[in-house]
Structure 1
Amino acid sequence: MKGSNLIAVFMALMISCVNPYKILGVFPVSFKSHWVIGHSIMKSLANAGHEVHVISPFPLKTPIHNYNDIHLVYDNDLELGNMFIREEYPPQKHMSLLSDLGDFLSNFTLSHPNVKALLEREKHFDAIIVEVFFFEALYGLAAHYNCPLIGSSTFSTSKWTNDLTKAPMEYAYVPHNFVKFSENMNFWQRTYNMLICQYENLFMEFYHYKRQKRIFDFHFGHTGKSLEDVMKSAALVFIYHHFSVLSIRPTVANMIEIGGLHVDKPKELPQDIKEFLDSANDGAILFSFGSMIQGMDLPAEKRDAFIKVFSQLKEKVIWKFENETMLNKPDNVMISSWIPQRDILAHPNVKLFITHGGLLGTTEAIIEGVPVIGIPIYSDQKMNMLQAQNMGLGVIMEYKDINEELILRNINQVLKKFEYQNNAQKISKLFKDRPITPEQSAVYWVEYAIRNKDATHLRSAAHNLNYFQLHLIDSYLFVLAVAGLVVYGLYRVVKRVFGAMLRSLRVIKVKND
Structure 2
Amino acid sequence: MWIARAQTVLLCLLVILASYSHANNSTTLKSEKRLKILAIFAHLGKSHFDVFKPLLVELAHRGHDLTVISHFPRTEQATAEEPLPTYKDISLLDGKLGVFVNVVDLNSINAFGVPVVIRDLYMLHSMSGITCEICLKNPEVKRLVDSGEKFDLLLVESFNSNCYMALVHKFNAPFIEISTHQLMTWAIDDLGLSNEASYIPAMFTRLPRPMSFFQRMINAATILFSTMVFHTVFHWQDQSIANKYYGPGLPDLRSVSNNASFMFVNTHYSVHGAISFPPNVIEVGGIHISPKVKPLPANIKKFLDEAHEGVLYFNLGSMVKTATMPEDKLNVLIKVFASIPRKVIWKWEVNEIPKLSSNVLVQKWLPQYDILNHPNVKCYFGHGGLLGLSEGVQAGVPMILMPFYGDQYQNAIAAQARGAALVVNFATLDAETLMHAVDEMFNNTRYNENAKKLSKAYRDRPSTPLETAVWWTEYLGRGNALPYVRSEAANMSWCQRNLIDVMLVLALLALLSIYVSFRALKYILARRKKKQEEGNDGTSSKKRD
The Cα shift of 1:14 comes to 3.6
Equivalent residues in 2 for 1:379-418, closer than 5 Å? 379-418=406-445
The Cα shift of 1:78 comes to 7.0
Judged with a 3 Å threshold, the aligned counterparts in structure 2 of structure 1 residues 5 and 183 are, in CA distance, closer, same or farther, namely farther
Q: 2:259–2:490: 8 Å Cα contact kept in structure 1? A: no
The Cα shift of 1:159 comes to 2.2
The one of 52, 76, 101 equivalent to 2:97 is: 76
The one of 33, 36, 57 equivalent to 1:19 is: 33
1:347 maps to 2:342: no
Letter aligned with residue 396 of structure 2: G
**Aligned equivalents of 1:291, 1:122: Cα separation in 2:** 37
What residue in structure 2 maps to residue 103 of structure 1? 129
1:365 maps to 2:392: yes
Judged with a 3 Å threshold, the aligned counterparts in structure 2 of structure 1 residues 510 and 85 are, in CA distance, closer, same or farther, namely farther
1:425 maps to 2:452: yes
The one of 68, 92, 104 equivalent to 1:54 is: 68
Deviates more, 1:430-439 or 1:5-14: 5-14
Deviates more, 1:361-370 or 1:388-397: 388-397
Judged with a 3 Å threshold, the aligned counterparts in structure 2 of structure 1 residues 114 and 386 are, in CA distance, closer, same or farther, namely same
The one of 164, 169, 175 equivalent to 1:149 is: 175
TM-score, with normalisation over the residues of structure 1? 0.93
Say how many residue pairs are matched.
511
Equivalent residues in 2 for 1:187-266, closer than 5 Å? 187-221=213-247, 225-264=251-290, 265-266=292-293
**Aligned equivalents of 1:391, 1:218: Cα separation in 2:** 47
The one of 140, 165, 176 equivalent to 1:139 is: 165
Letter aligned with residue 119 of structure 2: K
The Cα shift of 1:101 comes to 1.5
Judged with a 3 Å threshold, the aligned counterparts in structure 2 of structure 1 residues 327 and 155 are, in CA distance, closer, same or farther, namely closer
**Aligned equivalents of 1:191, 1:446: Cα separation in 2:** 38
Q: 1:448–1:455: 8 Å Cα contact kept in structure 2? A: no
1:67 maps to 2:81: no
Q: 2:394–2:458: 8 Å Cα contact kept in structure 1? A: yes
Q: 2:346–2:361: 8 Å Cα contact kept in structure 1? A: yes
Q: 1:147–1:454: 8 Å Cα contact kept in structure 2? A: no
**Aligned equivalents of 2:373, 2:324: Cα separation in 1:** 27
Judged with a 3 Å threshold, the aligned counterparts in structure 2 of structure 1 residues 83 and 154 are, in CA distance, closer, same or farther, namely farther
The Cα shift of 1:107 comes to 1.9
SS of alignment partner, residue 152 of structure 1: strand
**Aligned equivalents of 1:8, 1:394: Cα separation in 2:** 47
For residues 431-486 of structure 1, give each alpha carbon's deviation from its aligned partner in whole angstroms, at most 9, with x where no partner exists.
11111111111111111112125342111111342222111111111111111111
Equivalent residues in 2 for 1:87-126, closer than 5 Å? 87=110, 90-120=116-146, 123-126=149-152
What residue in structure 1 maps to residue 466 of structure 2? 439
What is the Cα-based RMSD across aligned positions, in Å? 2.5
Letter aligned with residue 367 of structure 1: Q
**Aligned equivalents of 2:165, 2:257: Cα separation in 1:** 7
Deviates more, 1:137-146 or 1:468-477: 137-146
The one of 283, 286, 294 equivalent to 2:313 is: 286
Judged with a 3 Å threshold, the aligned counterparts in structure 2 of structure 1 residues 160 and 83 are, in CA distance, closer, same or farther, namely farther
Q: 1:168–1:250: 8 Å Cα contact kept in structure 2? A: no
The Cα shift of 1:382 comes to 1.1
What residue in structure 1 maps to residue 8 of structure 2? none
The one of 351, 360, 364 equivalent to 1:324 is: 351
Deviates more, 1:427-436 or 1:178-187: 178-187
The one of 334, 337, 340 equivalent to 1:307 is: 334
SS of alignment partner, residue 457 of structure 1: coil
The one of 473, 484, 489 equivalent to 1:457 is: 484
Bigger Rg over Cα: 2
Q: 1:179–1:380: 8 Å Cα contact kept in structure 2? A: no
Judged with a 3 Å threshold, the aligned counterparts in structure 2 of structure 1 residues 398 and 49 are, in CA distance, closer, same or farther, namely same
Q: 2:145–2:167: 8 Å Cα contact kept in structure 1? A: no
Letter aligned with residue 212 of structure 2: N
What residue in structure 1 maps to residue 364 of structure 2? 337
Q: 1:13–1:48: 8 Å Cα contact kept in structure 2? A: no
Q: 1:352–1:370: 8 Å Cα contact kept in structure 2? A: yes
For residues 220-276 of structure 1, give each alpha carbon's deviation from its aligned partner in whole angstroms, at most 9, with x where no partner exists.
447764424422321111000111111112211111111111001222222222222
Deviates more, 1:320-329 or 1:375-384: 320-329
1:298 maps to 2:312: no
Letter aligned with residue 495 of structure 1: K
SS of alignment partner, residue 353 of structure 1: strand
The one of 54, 57, 63 equivalent to 1:40 is: 54
For residues 363-407 of structure 1, give each alpha carbon's deviation from its aligned partner in whole angstroms, at most 9, with x where no partner exists.
001111110001111111111111111211021111122111111
1:30 maps to 2:44: yes
Runs in 1 of length 4+ with deviation above 6 angstroms? 3-10, 508-511
1:130 maps to 2:151: no
**Aligned equivalents of 2:147, 2:301: Cα separation in 1:** 47
The Cα shift of 1:17 comes to 2.5
Q: 2:380–2:397: 8 Å Cα contact kept in structure 1? A: yes
For residues 168-226 of structure 1, give each alpha carbon's deviation from its aligned partner in whole angstroms, at most 9, with x where no partner exists.
22211121022223452110111000000011222122222222223333444477644
Equivalent residues in 2 for 1:270-281, closer than 5 Å? 270-281=297-308
Letter aligned with residue 93 of structure 1: R
Judged with a 3 Å threshold, the aligned counterparts in structure 2 of structure 1 residues 325 and 382 are, in CA distance, closer, same or farther, namely same
Judged with a 3 Å threshold, the aligned counterparts in structure 2 of structure 1 residues 81 and 169 are, in CA distance, closer, same or farther, namely closer
**Aligned equivalents of 1:256, 1:172: Cα separation in 2:** 22
For residues 310-332 of structure 1, give each alpha carbon's deviation from its aligned partner in whole angstroms, at most 9, with x where no partner exists.
11122111111122233321111
Deviates more, 1:426-435 or 1:182-191: 182-191
For residues 89-137 of structure 1, give each alpha carbon's deviation from its aligned partner in whole angstroms, at most 9, with x where no partner exists.
5112212221222122112201022323443457122211111012212
The Cα shift of 1:354 comes to 0.5
What residue in structure 1 maps to residue 5 of structure 2? none
Letter aligned with residue 126 of structure 2: D
Q: 1:217–1:226: 8 Å Cα contact kept in structure 2? A: no
Q: 2:209–2:413: 8 Å Cα contact kept in structure 1? A: no
